[in-house]
Amino acid sequence: MKSVPKSFPKGFIWGGALAANQMEGAWKEGGKGWCLADINRAQYDLPPNQRYNIEIDTAFIEKAMSEEDTLYPKRRGIDFYHTYKEDLALLAGTGMNSLRTSINWARIFPNGDETEPNEEGLKFYDNLIDEIIKNGMEPMITISHYEMPLNLTINYTGWYSRELITFFTRYCEVLFRRYKGKVRKWIIVNQINLIVHESFNHLGIAADKVENLLEAKYQGVHNEMVACAIATKKAHEIDPENDIGMMFCSNLTYPCSTKPEDNFWNLRHNQMEMLYGDIMVRGYYPGYALRYFSDNSLNIEITEEDEKALKEGTVDFVSLSYYYTRLSGEQPFLHTKLGQIANPELKASDWGWAIDPIGLRYALNVYWDRYQKPIYITENGLGAYDKVEEDGSIHDPYRIEYMKSHIEQMKESIMDGVDLRGYYPWGPIDIVSCSSSEMEKRYGFIYVDYDNYGNGTGKRSIKDSYYWYQKVTSSNGEEL
């Protein structure tokens, strides 16, 4: 009988994950155009769990483009565009052997619809990728991470416009050819199932430009998945060594009661969250999705050419972000709101995100059982308020405990038989929050001295969790 693995496999990846739009700044430099993240407005007057820019119309866009930078923290980030060499050296000091980051689409094609890329933008990423490798880290690159050129929203209708299939696959091909031999791990779209919570940031569909926003979202994400499939096939043609992945935001829920109805509607919720993997791994639309479209009068155009592309462009691995779990049920599932209930059995972060390490093991088992593809955890971490002591030290035992408990469940999932290949904690250096555009919602092992309004020195300081992660990486997860 084969033995059960008792430890993390040899060659396991201990990495870290970042995003261009949340850290680079320099939003008008290097020929970069406007991107979606540049109009993420800070809303600090709202409670922490409501500071989101979810659905946006053209009036919002016009107003945002006329307002001062102080209201838009992602325009400044942490100035990584100018400090990346020093920051990468600090990150490498944790012992991480891989770094996931994104390429800002609007740096490469400022308007999105050009036929030739911006060479200055490519040169920045030439240098960045070389520096990642120089520091002993393997690059994992996300091609689309909420950085769509804003022009594709203004003069098109975001991903609802089929023209974006051509624009995006052109962009992907430029990257695959430029970084052949340097980058082999690619995630084409970040958290592709987030068409509710990060609706505009993901799809770039202005709410007032379509008649049925829910239908437009599903048409948009369909067009996006077709583009991903075409790009995946091209990536394998350009370099057979390319490893192409799809990425979930793990939003699987537990049923809110023992009633059969709640269990059924929870099943429906989880099916529609896994729809994107079902298509991108298996290559076709499942019956439950077609019924969902029919029951809710959603007319999604799926051509024979689309179906062929989806079948021919399936991915090599599955990746996921994992932060929390919630409950679902009580009523027939309609994907217009998050529609989920906080779990009263769990403690939560200051932003209301439930802390559920076992939920990670649950998700890993579900995805492995369903897809039988290698899995990477490409985001996980705790957003928290950190305090700098008078002597400059930063003690964050809450972050260490959060990550320790999740890594323990990763090990359990490996013992369950899950083919887990790597772990990329989110934001190993403090960056601007994706969802709420706050700087003070910190995830990092490295503290960056900026507040929500951009005040501060920008000085980088080491937190206790930095030294803890050194022990994790050096022991291959044995010393927690």
Q: What is the pLDDT of residues 77-120, one digit of tens each?
A: 999 999 999 999 999 999 999 999 999 999 999 999 999 999 99
pLDDT over 70 at 383, yes or no: yes
Residue pair 222/285 in contact by the 8 Å Cβ criterion: no
From the CB of residue 12, how many other CB atoms can be counted at a distance below 10 Å? 18
Instruction: Provide mean pLDDT across the span 312-327.
Output: 97
Q: So what's the pLDDT on residue 48?
A: 65
In a domain, 2, yes or no: no
Cα 286–chain centre separation:
24
pLDDT over 70 at 277, yes or no: yes
Instruction: Provide mean pLDDT across the span 331-349.
Output: 74
pLDDT bucket at 43, cuts 50 / 70 / 90 = confident
Q: What is the enclosing helix (H) or strand (E) of 277? A: helix 260-282
Q: Which of 221, 277, 203, 222 is nearest to 245 (CA)?
A: 277
Strands 13-17 and 420-423: parallel
Distance CA 458, CA 107 (A): 24
Q: Which of 246, 234, 243 is nearest to 174 (CA)?
A: 234
Q: So what's the pLDDT on residue 54?
A: 67
pLDDT over 70 at 333, yes or no: no
Q: Between the CA of residue 363 and those of 17, 101, 369, 380, 428, what are the distances in Å?
A: 19, 23, 10, 13, 23
Q: So what's the pLDDT on residue 337?
A: 55
pLDDT bucket at 70, cuts 50 / 70 / 90 = confident
In a domain, 68, yes or no: yes
Q: Which of 195, 436, 193 is nearest to 320 (CA)?
A: 193
Q: Which of 55, 34, 363 is nearest to 207 (CA)?
A: 55
- End-to-end Cα distance, the chain: 30
Q: Which domain holds residue 203?
A: 13-474
Provide the CATH number for the domain around residue 442. Answer: 3.20.20.80
pLDDT over 90 at 328, yes or no: no
- For 259-283, give one letter per residue: b (16+ CB within 10 A) or e: eeebbebbbbbbebbbbbbbbbbeb
Q: So what's the pLDDT on residue 198?
A: 72
In a domain, 480, yes or no: no
pLDDT bucket at 435, cuts 50 / 70 / 90 = confident
Q: So what's the pLDDT on residue 298?
A: 96
Instruction: Provide mean pLDDT across the span 350-354.
Output: 91
Torsions phi, psi for 246 (to 5 deg): -110, 155
Q: Which range, of 135-149, 257-271, 401-415, averages the lowest pLDDT?
A: 257-271
Distance CA 174, CA 188 (A): 13
Instruction: Provide mean pLDDT across the span 127-141.
Output: 98
Q: Which residue has the higher pLDDT, 7 or 444?
A: 444
Q: What is the enclosing helix (H) or strand (E) of 75? A: none
Q: Which residue has the higher pLDDT, 302 or 68?
A: 302
Lookup: tokens for 326: 């919630």
Distance CA 129, CA 233 (A): 23
pLDDT over 70 at 52, yes or no: no
Distance CA 129, CA 133 (A): 6
In a domain, 380, yes or no: yes
In a domain, 121, yes or no: yes
Total number of domains constituting the chain:
1
Strand locations in 261-403 (E): 317-321, 326-328, 375-379
pLDDT bucket at 331, cuts 50 / 70 / 90 = low
Q: Which range, of 194-198, 219-223, 373-377, 454-458, averages the lowest pLDDT?
A: 194-198
* pTM exceeds 0.85, yes or no: yes
pLDDT over 60 at 281, yes or no: yes
Instruction: Provide mean pLDDT across the span 429-452.
Output: 95
Torsions phi, psi for 226 (to 5 deg): -60, -45
In a domain, 4, yes or no: no
pLDDT over 70 at 338, yes or no: no
pLDDT bucket at 1, cuts 50 / 70 / 90 = confident
DSSP per position, 422-475: EE--B-SB----TTT--SSSB--SEEE---TTS-S---EEE-HHHHHHHHHHHT
Q: Which of 165, 439, 122, 436 is nearest to 309 (CA)?
A: 165
Residue pair 79/25 in contact by the 8 Å Cβ criterion: yes
CB contact set of 264 (below 8 Å; sequence gap of 6+)? none
In a domain, 206, yes or no: yes
Distance CA 189, CA 179 (A): 18
In a domain, 6, yes or no: no
| Chain position carrying tokens 């770094």 | 99
